[in-house]
Amino acid sequence: MPESLALPNDFEWGFATAAYQIEGAVKEGGRGPSIWDTYCHLEPSRTNGANGDVACDHYHRYDEDFDLLTKYGAKAYRFSLSWSRIIPLGGRLDPVNEEGIEFYSKLIDALLRRGITPWVTLYHWDLPQALHDRYGGWLNVEEVQLDFERYARLCFERFGDRVQNWITINEPWIQAIYGYATGSNAPGRSSINKHSTEGNTATEPWLAGKAQIMSHARAVAVYSRDFRPSQKGQIGISLNGDYYEPWDSNEPRDKEAAERRMEFHIGWFANPIFLKKDYPESMKKQLGERLPALTPADFAILNAGETDFYGMNYYTSQFARHLDGPVPETDYLGAIHEHQENKDGSPVGEESGLAWLRSCPDMFRKHLARVYGLYGKPIYITENGCPCPGEENMTCEEAVNDPFRIRYFDSHLDSISKAITQDGVVVKGYFAWALLDNLEWSDGYGPRFGVTFTDYTTLKRTPKKSALVLKDMFAARQRVKVAA
């Protein structure tokens, strides 16, 4: 294998999951309901009739699942904690659920016994329902950041002796936009979604965004001041974001649209968090007073701690075409149209099992270079994966043969190698999404992202070929010395 396709010998890799998508046991062990419990039980269903009541039953089967990690050769595992399993009512003055603490403590110990490094995400979309009921959850910027700070501190206190890798929030863009603009995710608030009965798409997502920025900042400040010196760990955030190229490469307005889209997607969060700067100018210009200001007091908190790494969730890329005419108040994309083909009709990439996800490894490399160039932090790929074409309709025997997923992983790992060796990007780890087929949020149990087939009737796990091939992919790349 050429040196340009090598990975550092200390490159960390493994698999990723999220609590609500796999745990189940939603009414066991003292857990309180989250906004996803409520959303999944709305009538008529907003999730194709699916819910996380049982999911993959990981709550009772985590030892079995961790044996799979060992079988697959993984040295790291990224998972999230359920806030409402630890503090059922969520608030800073509410009781702690010791049974929930004990569950995650046993889970962490089970990983360590197997020589697997735990990577813990504090928040993966499942806000305690009690906080949403009490004060509006992410819409109450001042209250929720204080409750998140207490939750984060508790986790650092109870688990930080064994956990050295923390992610505060997973994909705040998704939480803000899908939760409060389109209403297609919990809590389902929107003024443009016919199924939503509450919400204001023009204002609420921007409030939810600021609430998450400040919640992250408070958690980082607490960790930096009170825990990092003794625990010697690191803390970051996982941001999603596609890479965009102009629909018409000869049209300056499309070039501007592509950059503006990435500012609305990533700069919204990354500018304040990593650069300690205000929102991108494009956002302030379009949104005006609807974008809640970051005050001197906010920047004092943002400056009180250092975010150590950029967690990148990457799946696909798109083309951006400028929007002519007036921009609706409900626009959240940055006054652009998104396309999967450019002006010449060339597709952005090979189709997967989901309409929105194309395999675009070359644009992934550009994405890595852009993010590292802007923010200068070490990057961990905290999610990357895909469902195969037609996989949701396959039997287990058919689905375990997944050449599309293998090609996807292989080509994206090549892009990481090239970004490191040729572009000078610092990429330190990779987590394939996902360890198991699981509840894919509003899509229910249709799309299968897992490297392990889950039979949702019997809950039997069956490894797919991709799970066993990934170890060889990394071994081959890490045997090659990276060029100096």
Peptide bond into 483 cis (omega under 30): no
- Please say whether the beta carbons of 238 and 383 come within 8 A: yes
Q: Which residues contact 381 (CB under 8 A, 6 or more apart)?
A: 312, 313, 314, 416, 427, 429, 430, 431
* pLDDT score at 1: 76
Alpha-carbon span 192 to 190, nearest angstrom: 6
Active-site annotation holder among 143, 149, 171, 392: 171
* pLDDT score at 4: 72
Q: What is the DSSP secondary-structure string of 289-322?
A: GGS----HHHHHHHTTS---EEEEE---EEEEEE
Alpha-carbon span 245 to 177, nearest angstrom: 22
Cα first-last separation, the chain: 16
* pLDDT score at 477: 95
pLDDT exceeds cutoff 80 at 285: yes
- Digit-coded pLDDT (tens) for 444-472: 999 999 999 999 999 999 999 999 999 99
Annotate 276-295 with b (16+ C-beta within 10 A) or e (fewer). eeebbebbeebbeeebbebe
pLDDT exceeds cutoff 60 at 6: yes
pLDDT exceeds cutoff 90 at 280: yes
How far from chain centre, in Å, is Cα 351? 21
* pLDDT score at 482: 47
pLDDT exceeds cutoff 90 at 483: no
- Digit-coded pLDDT (tens) for 90-106: 999 999 999 999 999 99
What's domain 3-478's architecture? Alpha-Beta Barrel (3.20)
Helices (H) and strands (E) in the chain, counts: 18, 15
Alpha helices in 6-97 (DSSP H): 19-22, 35-40, 58-72, 83-86
Alpha-carbon span 116 to 14, nearest angstrom: 9
Task: Kindly indicate the confidence band of residue 11, based on its pLDDT and cuts at 50, 70 and 90.
Answer: very high
Alpha-carbon span 272 to 293, nearest angstrom: 11
Residue 171 annotated to the active site: yes
Average pLDDT over residues 186-198: 98
Active-site annotation holder among 143, 204, 263, 383: 383
Phi-psi region of 367 (alpha: psi -120 to 50; beta: other; left: phi over 0): alpha
DSSP class of 438:
-
Alpha-carbon span 480 to 2, nearest angstrom: 8
- Digit-coded pLDDT (tens) for 310-329: 999 999 999 999 999 999 99
Alpha helices in 125-203 (DSSP H): 129-135, 141-159, 172-180
* pLDDT score at 481: 59
Average pLDDT over residues 16-21: 98
Average pLDDT over residues 141-149: 99
Strand, helix or coil for residue 334: coil
Alpha-carbon span 56 to 24, nearest angstrom: 7
Q: Which residues contact 165 (CB under 8 A, 6 or more apart)?
A: 76, 117, 118, 119, 120, 233, 234
Alpha-carbon span 236 to 122, nearest angstrom: 11
Alpha-carbon span 239 to 216, nearest angstrom: 12
Residue 263 annotated to the active site: no
* pLDDT score at 479: 83
For the record, the structure tokens of 424 come out as: 């000078």
Alpha-carbon span 219 to 151, nearest angstrom: 9
Mean pLDDT for the chain? 97
- Please say whether the beta carbons of 414 and 474 come within 8 A: no
The total of other beta-carbon atoms located within 10 Å of residue 401's CB is: 14
Extents of the domains making up the chain: 3-478
Alpha-carbon span 274 to 282, nearest angstrom: 18
Average pLDDT over residues 194-198: 97
